[in-house]
A and B are shown apart, each in its own frame.
Chain A
């Protein structure tokens, strides 16, 4: 069974440019999470999907961040425009339901210069 797949693995962009991250969850997993991890800290939730519905986006900075999960499978997280402080690792995770075991992708390391 394939794990959670994220792309790209690394991205370097100039500030004010847009950037997008893609996540393909494990087949059959209805719950999908996007997390942000700053250096030396634990992952922090940005948004949680149940199928195609965003059920918790309270921590998503909606002025510049957006996300979608079309057809309840793949998901895209976008930042526009990027700021220097957005440099971090963006992690995607999936599970069958929130109460079952979650699995993480390898993450996308974003550097904004």
Chain B
């Protein structure tokens, strides 16, 4: 089956720093989503981005489907950005990556 790998596995930042999270997948997909799992376990939708670039405030994402990767950019990070970031891809069902745990300190 398709493999979804995220990097880095852990990221520690000071408030105000920028970061880039990467998601690599091993086969073609029909859909890709980025989620933020907050400390209470809720999966929050960030982007639905099968291809191209989208921006939402301090966050933006780019998916290059032909090269099988997606990037999530977080600018001017805040402590509320802490949590785990997952990408998930759909060949025919939603398959999650390994996650990136982000900690933002004041």
- Using a CB–CB cutoff of 8 Å, the interface residues on chain A facing chain B are 33, 37, 41-45, 48, 56, 89, 91, 93, 95, 98-104, 106-107, 109
Contact = CB atoms under 8 A, between A and B. Distances in A.
A68 B93 CA distance: 18
A57 B48 CA distance: 25
A41 B98 CA distance: 7
Nearest to A48: B93
B30 A98 contact: yes
| Range, interface on chain B | 20 to 34
Nearest to B96: A42
Contacts of B92: 56, 98
A107 to B, nearest CB: 6
Contact of B31 (A48, A99, A104, A107): A99
Contact of A42 (B30, B40, B86): B86
Given A104-B42, A109-B41, A98 B90 contact: yes
26 contacts: A33-B94, A41-B99, A42-B86, A43-B43, A43-B96, A45-B94, A45-B95, A56-B92, A89-B41, A91-B43, A93-B94, A95-B94, A98-B30, A98-B92, A99-B30, A99-B90, A100-B31, A101-B31, A101-B48, A102-B33, A102-B94, A104-B35, A104-B42, A106-B41, A107-B41, A107-B42
A38 B71 CA distance: 25
Nearest to B92: A98
B83 interface: no
B33 A44 contact: no
B93 A104 contact: no
Interface in B16-65: 30-31, 33, 35, 40-43, 45, 48
Contacts of A43: 43, 86, 96
A44 to B, nearest CB: 7
A102 B97 CA distance: 15
Contacts of A98: 30-31, 90, 92-94
